[in-house]
């Protein structure tokens, strides 16, 4: 099933890149919302590679790291996902959901099942600052549908305060237009 979804996604990207008159671009963004340590005892940050296929449709590959700040546990996490972003109103408002999201935990105190799966749903707005520079405030919900409740419980036990809801502020730069 995963192969069929991946193949359909590749075919969709192929046809959209070459059939559209809109310019596609490749962006890189960094999450600057460092309010997590003030709310929780972890540092959660993301670096995102964004492929704008059309004006209203994008594919994103965010890579994140999770570091506990309390010093009592020796567990860290790195994760990533493949997200689909859709702008239904053509004015910067977007909704994004993950096709797949994983968190890999490592360290002395990491659980035996160190690969955890989650789902992510995000809402936000894109502000264009310059021609190739933008900022995006957004709110993300992890495991909103409740499917991966066991994975979320393991992450909350490992990090004492893994967020189910997270606000972020990404600053991005358009690397290439094609």
Helices (H) and strands (E) in the chain — how many of each? 3, 10
**pLDDT score recorded for residue 23:** 76
Average the pLDDT over 158-169 and give the result: 85
Mean pLDDT of 5-26: 61
CB-CB neighbours of 148 under 10 Å: 17
pLDDT of residue 38: 65
Token pair 């596609």 in the structure block, residue: 24
Closest CA to 68 of 160, 173, 175: 160
CATH code, 23-177: 2.40.160.20
Task: Encode pLDDT of 76-133 as tens digits.
Answer: 999 999 999 999 887 889 999 999 999 999 999 899 999 999 999 999 999 999 989 9
Q: In terms of C-beta distances under 8 Å and separation of at least 24 residues, what long-range contacts does 3-8 make, across chains too? A: 5/99
Helix (H) or strand (E) holding 9: helix 2-19
Identify the pLDDT of residue 2.
54
């Amino acid at each position: 099933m995963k192969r069929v979804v991946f193949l359909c996604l590749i075919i969709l990207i192929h046809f959209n890149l070459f059939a559209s008159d809109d310019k596609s671009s490749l962006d890189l963004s960094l999450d600057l919302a460092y309010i997590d340590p003030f709310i929780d005892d972890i540092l959660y940050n993301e670096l995102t590679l964004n492929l704008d296929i059309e004006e209203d449709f994008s594919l994103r590959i965010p890579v994140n790291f999770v570091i506990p700040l309390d010093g009592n546990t020796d567990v860290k996490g790195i994760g990533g996902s493949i997200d689909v972003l859709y702008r239904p109103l053509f004015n910067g408002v977007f909704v994004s959901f993950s096709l797949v999201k994983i968190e890999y935990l490592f360290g002395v105190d990491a659980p035996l099942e160190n690969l955890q799966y989650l789902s992510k749903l995000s809402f936000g707005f894109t502000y264009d600052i310059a021609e190739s520079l933008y900022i995006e405030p957004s709110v993300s919900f992890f495991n909103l549908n409740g499917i991966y409740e066991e994975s979320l419980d393991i992450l909350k036990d490992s990090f004492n305060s893994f967020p189910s809801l997270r606000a972020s502020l990404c600053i991005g730069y358009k690397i290439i237009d094609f």
